[in-house]
Chains A and B, each alone.
Chain A
Amino acid sequence: MNIHGSVVSAREIILSTEGVAAGYGGDDIISNISVAVGKGSIFTVIGPNGSGKSTFIKVLAGLLPARTGEIRLGAMSIARLSAPQRVAAGLAYVPQEFNIFTNLTVGENLRVSTEFLERERRASAEQRERVLAIFPEVAGRLGLRAGYLSGGQRQMLAFACAMMAAPTVLLLDEPSAGLSPKFVAEIFDKVKSVNAMGVTVVMIEQNVKEALRIADIVLVLVNGATRLLATPDDILTKHDLHKLYLG
């Protein structure tokens, strides 16, 4: 049973995909994914392990090419752009792991995150101040080697680095994975404050309860295909997640 719902958003569409398929080797891991993300919304992707969530977000970030389909940022087609070109276009991505340079200091991580991008995306002093104001735990450790940070602090730094490019859309790959409950709550607070500044967030989340609490729209991916696209309220009132996950 494929529910394949559609959500009509009143918002302007900032990021959209049409019939996207991608994978490694011979087989497609995700196929025929079509979504539309409203400007300023939080769009969460949930699904069982191996359902293709990370693959989907990597395709959006430009780290894995889409084999078929179209990806648009606003009106611009970005499917053929490289990852740095997409950052320059306004899309920032925070990988789940290995998302900071451990041999560089915290301050150097922030600098290097935009200093090689096209001129207009290089962080201005004001942007740096804005980011450091959102992430005081990062601001207080600028001279420390990033490898000495805890898991939660690393995630904050990776998040802050992505924000340095002043993105219009932020892609987060399971920002709460492996973190203590204290940091999970903090990370979600940051997601909300960044979103409140007008940044659209596309986020993979294993923690379904949190994902539903924070999201405007939820995409449920199962076996690389769209199982459901709905608001959190709809999912909670009209659907059974266990059944959705089992397919």
Chain B
Amino acid sequence: MTAQVILNGLVTGMVVALPAVALTLIYGILKFPNFAIGAMLTVGAYLALALNVYLSLPVLYAAAIGAAAFAVVAVGIDQAVFRPLRERSAITLLVASMGVSFVLENIVRFIFGNGARSFELPLARPKLVFGLRINNEQIFTAVAVIAAMTAVYVVLRHTPLGRAMRAVSDNPALAAARGIDRERIVRWTWVIAGLLTAAAGVLVGMDRAIDPLLGWNYIVTVFAASILGGLGNPVGAVLGALTVGVVEETSTLLIAPNYRQVVSFCAIALLLLLRPQGLLGVQRIKK
């Protein structure tokens, strides 16, 4: 029973890792917590749903095309909303992202209605491995998330784009002096964030019903994961997500599942009190 719960928690954590990394990358480059991260998940799920249900594309293709389309949308949102506010404070940008969140959510409601939908997936029995029940969606999730995280890691560590992203995140003024075009890096960051959140939306949608509040239900968990890992630290965000996933899932052994987000809230509160820079974060001195 406990092993099953931990397995489920790890899979949940893997799904959360995608938007947590997106959140942390945007924070690293643009220095604001993007509250629209939940709504981005929702829109990503609905884009893939539209392709899956209306064009009868298999989920995998629908997810890939939907994610690519949403990456373009994410860059568009940045250019329309966040770019004019680039030099404003983090609070201004946070509030703007709340606005984006409400607008995205209501566009979804306007087009698709309030009802719950689901992907057209072939039904399959869960497999039994060492007494653990593993369903196809969980396997798909694990493979997709590990592939995505590996890709992000390779981009960040071993490509000029990744070095530039880390340089801009570390010291924007010096990066500019070194000829790194911040706006170009910002656009690529939104592309990556768009791909990751849309993919996460699809994975969540495969596990449960798709409704306009799909992403909203994950906001606290995603923020908890990113803060736990130290905002701005992608590896930390993944570890934070896995931790939050397992802890939330394990808590359902003790408390009603509806209250599991309390655990994330408590994690954020405790962390902000005891280690504000997060588990892997570095303390920043504000001059």
Contacts and interface: CB of A to CB of B under 8 A. Distances in A.
B3 to A, nearest CB: 37
B166 A101 contact: yes
Interface residues of A, number: 26
7 closest A-B pairs by beta carbon, nearest first, are A84-B179, A116-B179, A117-B179, A101-B170, A103-B170, A83-B177, A116-B180
Given A112-B164, A115-B160, A115-B163, A102 B177 contact: no
A72 interface: no
Given A95-B174, A98-B174, A103-B169, A111 B163 contact: yes
Contacts of A98: 171, 173-174
Given A98-B171, A101-B171, A116-B160, A84 B166 contact: no
Contacts of B181: 116
Classify the interface of chain A: helix, strand, loop or mixed.
Answer: loop
Nearest to B169: A103
A83 B176 contact: yes
A101 B174 contact: yes
A207 B109 CA distance: 67
A99 interface: yes
A63 interface: yes
B286 interface: no
A108 B164 CA distance: 10
Interface in A123-151: 147
Given A84-B177, A100-B174, A112-B164, 12 more contacts: A84-B176, A87-B177, A88-B179, A101-B171, A101-B175, A112-B175, A114-B178, A115-B160, A116-B178, A116-B179, A116-B180, A147-B282
Contacts of B177: 61, 63, 83-84, 87, 93, 95
A104 B173 contact: no
Interface of A: 61, 63, 83-84, 87-88, 93, 95, 98-104, 108, 111-118, 147, 161
Given A108-B163, A116-B160, A99 B179 contact: no
A98 B174 CA distance: 8
B170 A104 contact: yes
A102 to B, nearest CB: 6
Interface in B135-180: 160, 163-164, 166-167, 169-171, 173-180
A116 B282 CA distance: 27
Contacts of B282: 147
Interface string B164-208: 101101110111111111000000000000000000000000000
